[in-house]
Amino acid sequence: MNISSNFDSGNIIVQKDDGHGSFWLNIRKDTKSDHFQWFHFRLSGARGVECQLVITNASEASYPEGWEDYDVRASYDRENWFSVPTTYEEGKLIWHFKPEHDSVFFAYFAPYSYERHLGLIHSSQHSPDCRHIVLGQTHEGRDLDMLIVGNPKAKRRIWVVARQHPGEAMAEWFMEGFIDRLIDDSDPESLVLLKNAVFYLVPNLNPDGAIAGNLRCNTLGTNLNREWAAPSKEKSPEVYYLMKEMDKTGCDLFLDIHGDEGLPYNFVSSIEGIPSFDKRLKNILDKFLNKWKECSPDFQTRHGYPKNKAGEANLSVGSKQIGERFKCLSMTIEMPFKDNADLPDEYSGWSPERSMNLGRGILFPIRSVLRELR
């Protein structure tokens, strides 16, 4: 029996292996950072063996509350992921599993691979409404891919960005669903949007961190979502190049796609605390949220982060900085690592499929506020 993680987004350290199916494991820290929570590894040679897997440093993770009522995800083929009953006891994450096949993968959430990312970019550009450009390069020399979809002469400019935090893989699953529907020339929702707006889409802003198996940082140890007030080529080239392009195009709506470790709900964190938040922005925000609730039972507004008081928003955070910089509707969209407690799925928990469906469904609330954007 063997555990390995030397692959795209792999992360685990074997502390002890008793040779009979019990493994004591640690999650490796993010590159040049103390953050950690993402894990992804393969167990091989254990077919038919009742295995016990214990992550011994779970209580030291960035968000230990994320382990409460959480289930590990597993897959035999890396396409279909399912939940494994998991307990969090005395600071350790523990699960038992008897593999039906020779190899099985375990992960914090169903990974979104760099290979799939490249496939998404290159398949999307076949649409006559879609162009691909490279914003710049990461610290490790990877391209920062952006898709431009829609009417380039349209006045309304909509930016959607995902995976500032690389371990939040559900964010790119969301983007895949969103992009697939947006470029569907038989979908009336997308036809209206693409006639009246241009979309700037960045499915993965942190490919270095994603490939490294990091939770929250790029491979320079930088949390990108605290860099928006003053990004630099040295620490945060990803945000630096994106904002350079955004300053050229302008922005009327900004959606920053994330995942939350603790809360078992889909929710948003918006711009109530920025200095420029006014009645106009409040009305647009309220309409957007109400329309999203109408079309998607997976979205709700009862649970979420506390709203910032007036003038107290942290402008180093992406959605807050962009809302203030462009005086526009801007929000962080959060999905769960656990499950949606309003509509639980015992088999898979919150999943790639549910993430993609949420991405598809957001076209309606965007269209609902399109005329108010400026």
For the sheet with 82-84, list strands across it.
2-4, 40-44, 103-107, 72-75, 82-84
pLDDT number for residue 374: 76
Q: Where are the beta strands (DSSP E) in the chain?
A: 2-4, 13-17, 22-26, 40-44, 51-55, 72-75, 82-84, 86-89, 92-97, 103-107, 130-137, 143-150, 156-162, 197-202, 253-260, 267-269, 329-336
Amino acid (1-letter code) at residue 285: L
Query: What is the rounded CA–CA span in Å between residue 88 and residue 58?
Result: 8
Neighbours of 75 (CB within 10 A): 16
Please state the φ and ψ torsions of residue 103, each to the nearest 5 degrees: -135, 145
**At 90, is the secondary structure helix, strand, or coil?**
coil
Single out the catalytic residue among 90, 168, 334, 353.
334
Best CA proximity match to 160, nearest among 206, 201, 129: 201
| Contacts of residue 238, Cβ cutoff 8 Å, sequence gap at least 6 | 136, 138, 144, 164, 205, 206, 218, 224
* Strand order through the sheet with 156-162: 130-137, 143-150, 197-202, 156-162, 253-260, 329-336, 267-269
C-beta of residue 214 within 8 angstroms of C-beta of residue 139: no
Please give the pLDDT value at position 142.
98
Per-residue pLDDT of the chain (374 residues; tens, 9 = 90+): 999 999 999 999 999 999 999 999 999 999 999 999 999 999 999 999 999 999 999 999 999 999 999 999 999 999 999 999 999 999 999 999 999 999 999 999 999 999 999 999 999 999 999 999 999 999 999 999 999 999 999 999 999 999 999 999 999 999 999 999 999 999 999 999 999 999 999 999 999 999 999 999 999 999 999 999 999 999 999 999 999 999 999 999 999 999 999 999 999 999 999 999 999 999 999 999 999 999 999 999 999 999 999 999 999 999 999 999 999 999 999 999 999 999 999 999 999 999 999 999 999 999 999 999 97
Helix axes 352-361, 170-182, angle to 10 degrees: 40
234, 229, 221, 296: which is closest to 266 by C-alpha? Answer: 296
The yes-or-no answer on residue 334 being catalytic is yes
